[in-house]
Amino acid sequence: MGGGLNKGILFCVFFIFANSKTDIYEEIINIKNGLNFAKKVLVTGESTIVVLDEILGLLTRNIITVDDIKVLIDAKDEGTELILTGTEMNSELMQYADAVYEIKSIK
């Protein structure tokens, strides 16, 4: 076997389950911490694949901005795949994507 680096996959899920305003505030802080961790992983190249699941929903809910996501995109190196998921694609963000997929239920 070769002696190359074995980099892993980072998978972050961004959902808000809170009911009260205090809980929502705490979850937003946790989301921001998760985004900062993802940025660190992207900057250091610790993972070859970084999946930020349901991050596009944070845009829809005005928890983060397109600029927040652009910072993540700019932070990654060429050897890292950054995958953003969500149910709605922001038209402004689409220009920064290498590929956009829409998955539909058939049955």
pLDDT digits 0-9 by tens, 19-64: 777 788 888 899 999 999 999 999 998 899 999 999 999 998 899 9
Cross-strand partners of 12: 52
Buried b (16+ CB within 10 A) or exposed e, 61-85: eebbeeeebeebeebbeeebebebe
Q: Is residue 4 over pLDDT 50?
A: no
What pTM did the predictor assign?
Answer: 0.81
Q: State CA 26 to chain mean position distance.
A: 19
What is residue 81's three-state secondary structure? strand
User: pLDDT digit string (tens) for 51-100?
Assistant: 999 999 999 889 999 999 999 999 998 889 999 998 888 889 989 888 88
Cβ–Cβ < 8 Å for 38, 50: yes
- One-letter identity of residue 102: E
